[in-house]
A and B are shown apart, each in its own frame.
Chain A
């Protein structure tokens, strides 16, 4: 469970990225966060795993007050939260298999960490994770040889190998073509259903958000302006979230 209580995030330059956020996400939900670029979607996501610190209010993840954690505790929190990025953020020069194995590293003894020696169990785990997203055949191919969609699946496998209870996805399909984007979204949906992992996804494609997510959170200038089931999102609501800009675009088309 993720619980924001009156959360405010103010950047060092004085910009208020999040203002009075109150949001509760139960275990196993599939939430899409939508809003304009710069509205605070990324910031919202990154506060959950303490990639960003919050300025005031409180934020609980599985009943742990995230803002009070330090050093090692933050890393422990992050072990339970997976993150997916727009540009995949894989190590390009090595194989998919090795990229996935990296997710076991934080729990390994020091000598294994230094030498990068994995146990057989971990190797099987990594291959299983790759199999789960249907790219087992690409396990020993260098990541930079793969297409965008395949790379995002490797990233997804890496996150699955970590076995988190929550997956945060920051624009996971923004650099993919429409067909591949749908495939990746289907992967997310399947993981959400099969493994009961909470998925919070930032997304620009409203149609995909409405199709795959069960709940939609709309953010405008750092504030939540809509929070409800994806099925109840109407054009008026989208207009409200996007400051009326969506309507202009629709008219333009």
Chain B
């Protein structure tokens, strides 16, 4: 493999400097091979795509104009969705803080606690929100409680992971100073580390909430309440004008929340 061999540049004064070869060509080749096999394995068929793509336009055209009368039935499920994501996000973000503390190797002295907490967090992260919602409906019954729990779990895992990485990368100088003046570890964490991580923490929590609104919209599919329930129903009836209305409303909501969240996050950082 010649491309992996190091080459060297010789300066006019006779000094030679070894130059590392770029690995990019090799990586591109590997990616192309992976693409080829994934097409083979998944049975992706370009012919089906070109033949059936027209159907997509049919559905899209059916959605226009949306059924404006339907909107009166949508407000409650829409607010359910927002409530679900808001409550789940807030609770998740709050509970993520102590978990992140225990998962940070520079805060927790006990190694077992660190490993165990990190393991729990990654375990929660691997659990898709939809599956969590489904399980929650078995436990708490159909409705928004299940959705809130699912979003809560996702938020804990997501914020917790980001948070402990931040804590582990935090500057420990002030922390050391506080320990030297008689603060306990938790107290030094509260006064030296939290001021450092707070802007990012809040920003992440808001960003997570923003994403959670979108997640919450589909949780209705598994019976976890909210606007997804209506979406599922309308799609089932092939009532694309209603679907159009739901999607439009959802897009507007997400847009508004995104704009607000972006504004707040810009102020925070």
Interface residues of A (CB under 8 A from B): 49, 51, 75-79, 81-83, 85, 87-94, 102-103, 105-106, 113-114, 116, 155, 158-159, 162
Contact = CB atoms under 8 A, between A and B. Distances in A.
Interface string B185-202: 001001110011001000
A75 B183 contact: yes
12 contacts: A49-B180, A51-B179, A51-B180, A75-B184, A81-B180, A83-B181, A88-B173, A91-B192, A102-B192, A106-B181, A158-B177, A158-B181
Nearest to A46: B180
Interface of B: 171, 173-174, 176-184, 187, 190-192, 195-196, 199
Contacts of B191: 91, 102, 105, 116
A113 to B, nearest CB: 6
B180 A105 contact: no
Q: Nearest 5 pairs between A and B by C-beta?
A: A89-B177, A78-B182, A83-B180, A89-B173, A79-B182
Contacts of A88: 173
Contacts of B190: 113-114, 116
Contacts of A155: 177
Given A85-B173, A85-B176, A113-B190, A91 B181 contact: no
Contacts of B177: 83, 85, 89-90, 155, 158
Given A85-B176, A94-B195, A113 B187 contact: yes
Contacts, number: 68
A125 to B, nearest CB: 14
Contacts of A51: 176, 179-180
A103 B192 CA distance: 11
Nearest to B174: A91
Contacts of B171: 92
B195 A93 contact: yes
Contact of A79 (B176, B181, B187, B199): B181
Nearest to B191: A102
A224 to B, nearest CB: 23
Given A78-B179, A105-B187, 14 more contacts: A49-B180, A83-B181, A89-B177, A90-B174, A90-B177, A91-B192, A93-B196, A102-B191, A105-B191, A106-B184, A106-B187, A113-B190, A116-B190, A158-B177
